[in-house]
Amino acid sequence: MSRICLAAGASAALYKACDLASMLAQEGHEVRTVLTPRAAELVSAQLFEALTGEPAHTDEFGAARTRGMDHIDLAAWSEAFLVAPASADLVARLALGLAGDLVGTVALALAPDVPRLVCPAMNPNMLASPPTGRHLATLRADGWHVLEPGQGHLACGVSGPGRMGEPPEIVAALRELLG
């Protein structure tokens, strides 16, 4: 099985990341979670630790610290990098290579051959905005795989595209990437 770094952004779809982490761990994968600071305000890192049996990180200098450079250690450990959910903000930061949090620094420190899968989750207008389209195109050009969001009712009260894929769909896409 594989070592998967699950990066979770702040989104109403964050609850699906909990199911996703559990499913991956039950399949025998080692899953270490990195939450953006805003995601850590919505869901406790301890929940991910309970679901996976592995450390969960919220910042570079947090309680789950392993050594002096968590971003380097996590990147070297990872055999796959999965971002779910990926808000419009997180998609933009990854596309621009911004390193203002642990998710960004781990993404930049990954070896070039580590498979990367991003699962956008956002309001349909945000998804359709030209900047978001450019950022997703940049990620694809940089070798990221994008699991297109589905249609459905969203937490913001509207229906349309922007719904993060369901955990079984994400697991299948990741399994395909890992061969």
Catalytic residues: 156
Rounded to an integer, what distance in angstroms lies between the CA atom of residue 25 and that of residue 7?
A: 15
